[in-house]
């Protein structure tokens, strides 16, 4: 009763606020705003100052992202739907879980006829574009529609560094910035190899006496050996260096977006990561060191999410855990509540301008399937079901795991045996949700690969394909 009273009060407040805003500011002002979506690959929320990372741990920090977070809405507990690049970006753009958009493995295709956030923006009259940093992360080839143009690395180049991405953004905005636009920029760092520029490495030498120039697991990352502690520390230092590296690019891109927007009409800026990164926290028990795609613990699912809109959104922190499927409907809701974006995620826009937190809702994550994996734990399916503060992990090869994230954020204390009733109830809720959301792969048009032999070899070398 108490909760519903609070929600009702918040909704009344949201309605009043919307009414108050509509007088001095016609709805079209919001709808016409430019929108910048930046996704930073492999960025863990908990390596950022704005998420509480001790500044001393990273000499250069993440000042641009932290400034954006402090002046915008920071989603403290946002979660990827899958710790793999292409499927996660498909969730960001469609508001659907991977089992529903059908793109479960890198380089495969989403099912036909999905509406994306870019479609929604284009219908609103914006010029839409994607500029991405990794081979194959190319919306048309992944069957993700709505982009007037898409610029991705070609075969000979596996990825682009963030300096190049800033220049590509600068050029696109110079050529197209006069019309209302929606631009998605994908940045590669801090993805492996961890190889920050030398000036960033130098700043960290005090903490890491023998910091190597570069860290990358063996190409077959699933077979990486357990690394000694000093190598783990050094690799983590290099990861932090890459976070600082990408942060300066983010700052430059945000500045360019603001300069390309007419005076007094700030762009809506959305920053997210597609997944986090294991930094060898569980290498002893899992045999998995650095990387992502294989585990569903918070280090690979908990990602930063920021929505910053000068003059339209007051700074605040959303503490209710959310999923990246909420991103597209919420962005659409902020721009034009009269044209909702239909998705599995929730439109949280009304909650961003009121004091109350959005109500808790369950959400889902899964990892990609593996064909004949070298580690037994990776055979079969693995899924996570969140009912805040509880998190259930169900894997075919292991007993169930149940964690209470508010008391045990590192997921070290499996309570499945102590909580049989909760375990049964959450497992049933997950099963019911899956029944209601059958996999799109069963449809003829989903999950097909679109890849040529040289791209397959390149993605394999990156550890992206089996």
Binding positions for Zn ion, rule: CB under 5 A: 41, 85, 274
> Least distance in Å: CB of 179 to Zn ion?
30
CA 29-32-36 angle, 5° bins: 120
Q: Is the Cβ of residue 195 or residue 274 nearer to Zn ion in the bound state?
A: 274
Q: Which residue has the tokens 């920050």?
A: 196
Q: Is the Cβ of residue 250 or residue 392 nearer to Zn ion in the bound state?
A: 250
Q: How far apart are CA 277 and CA 289, in angstroms?
A: 10
Q: Is the Cβ of residue 86 or residue 119 nearer to Zn ion in the bound state?
A: 86
Per-residue tokens: 418? 């102590």
| 357: exposed, middle or buried (Cβ count in 10 Å: 0-12, 13-18, 19+) | middle
> Least distance in Å: CB of 408 to Zn ion?
26
Beta-strand ranges (E) seen in 69-126 are: 73-75, 78-79
> Least distance in Å: CB of 163 to Zn ion?
19
> Element (H or E) spanning 28, and its range?
helix 27-31
Q: Is the Cβ of residue 189 or residue 233 nearer to Zn ion in the bound state?
A: 189
> Least distance in Å: CB of 102 to Zn ion?
18
DSSP string covering 185-222: EEE-TTSSSB---HHHHHTTTTT-TT--S-B---SSGG
Q: Is the Cβ of residue 85 or residue 152 nearer to Zn ion in the bound state?
A: 85
Q: Is the Cβ of residue 58 or residue 85 nearer to Zn ion in the bound state?
A: 85
Q: Comparing C-alpha atoms, which of 113, 78, 110 is closest to residue 97?
A: 110
Q: How far apart are CA 176 and CA 31, in angstroms?
A: 18
Q: Is the Cβ of residue 274 or residue 411 nearer to Zn ion in the bound state?
A: 274
> Least distance in Å: CB of 211 to Zn ion?
24
Length of the chain: 466
Give me the residues paired with residue 305 across strands: 272
> Least distance in Å: CB of 42 to Zn ion?
5
**Which CA distances in Å does 59 have to 202, 205, 250?**
10, 10, 18
Nearest position to Zn ion, beta carbon: 85
Q: Is the Cβ of residue 247 or residue 274 nearer to Zn ion in the bound state?
A: 274
Q: Is the Cβ of residue 76 or residue 277 nearer to Zn ion in the bound state?
A: 277
CA 373-378-379 angle, 5° bins: 75
> Least distance in Å: CB of 281 to Zn ion?
19
| Helices and strands in the chain, H and E counts | 14, 17
> Least distance in Å: CB of 134 to Zn ion?
8
> Least distance in Å: CB of 135 to Zn ion?
12
| 149: exposed, middle or buried (Cβ count in 10 Å: 0-12, 13-18, 19+) | middle
Q: How far apart are CA 310 and CA 269, in angstroms?
A: 9
Q: How far apart are CA 402 and CA 429, in angstroms?
A: 14
> Least distance in Å: CB of 458 to Zn ion?
15
Q: Which residue has the tokens 């048009």?
A: 445
Q: Is the Cβ of residue 41 or residue 76 nearer to Zn ion in the bound state?
A: 41
């Amino acid at each position: 009763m108490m909760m519903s009273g609070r929600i009702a009060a918040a909704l009344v407040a949201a309605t009043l606020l919307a009414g108050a805003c509509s007088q001095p500011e016609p709805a079209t002002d919001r709808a016409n705003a430019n929108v910048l979506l930046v996704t930073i690959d492999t960025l863990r929320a908990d390596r950022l100052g704005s998420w509480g990372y001790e500044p001393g741990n990273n000499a250069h920090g993440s000042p641009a992202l932290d400034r954006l977070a402090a002046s915008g809405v920071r989603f403290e507990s946002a979660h990827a739907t899958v710790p793999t690049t292409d499927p996660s970006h498909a969730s960001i753009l469609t508001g659907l879980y991977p089992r529903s958009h059908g793109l479960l493995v890198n380089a495969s295709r989403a099912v036909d006829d999905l509406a994306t956030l870019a479609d929604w923006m284009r219908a609103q009259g914006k010029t839409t574009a994607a500029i991405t940093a990794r081979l194959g992360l190319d919306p048309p080839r992944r069957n993700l529609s709505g982009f007037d143009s898409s610029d991705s690395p070609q075969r000979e180049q596996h990825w682009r560094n963030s300096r190049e991405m800033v220049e590509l953004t600068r050029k696109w905005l110079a050529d197209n910035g006069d019309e209302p636009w929606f631009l998605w920029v994908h940045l590669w760092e801090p993805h492996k190899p961890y190889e920050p520029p030398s000036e960033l490495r130098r700043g960290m030498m005090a903490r890491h006496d023998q910091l190597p120039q570069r860290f990358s697991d063996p190409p077959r990352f699933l077979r990486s050996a357990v690394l000694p502690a000093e190598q783990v520390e050094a690799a983590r230092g290099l990861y932090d260096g890459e976070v600082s590296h990408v942060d300066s690019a983010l700052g430059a891109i945000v500045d360019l977006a603001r300069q390309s927007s007419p005076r007094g009409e700030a762009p809506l800026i959305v920053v997210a990561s597609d997944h986090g990164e294991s930094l060898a926290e569980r290498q002893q028990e899992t045999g998995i060191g650095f990387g992502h795609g294989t585990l569903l613990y918070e280090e690979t699912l908990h990602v930063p999410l920021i929505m910053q809109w000068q003059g339209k959104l007051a700074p605040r922190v959303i503490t209710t855990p959310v999923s990246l499927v909420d991103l597209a409907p919420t962005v659409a809701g902020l721009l034009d509540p009269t044209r909702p974006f239909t998705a599995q995620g929730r439109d949280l826009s009304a909650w961003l301008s009121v004091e109350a937190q959005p109500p808790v809702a369950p959400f889902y994550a899964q990892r990609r399937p593996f064909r004949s994996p070298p580690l037994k734990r990776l055979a079969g399916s693995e899924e996570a079901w969140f009912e805040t503060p509880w998190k259930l992990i169900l894997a075919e090869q292991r007993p169930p795991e149940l964690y209470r994230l508010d008391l045990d954020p590192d997921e070290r204390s499996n309570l499945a045996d102590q909580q049989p009733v909760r375990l049964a109830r959450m497992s049933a809720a997950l099963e019911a949700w899956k029944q209601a959301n059958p996999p799109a792969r069963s449809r003829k048009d989903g999950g097909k690969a679109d890849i040529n032999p040289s791209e397959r070899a390149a993605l394999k070398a990156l550890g992206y394909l089996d």
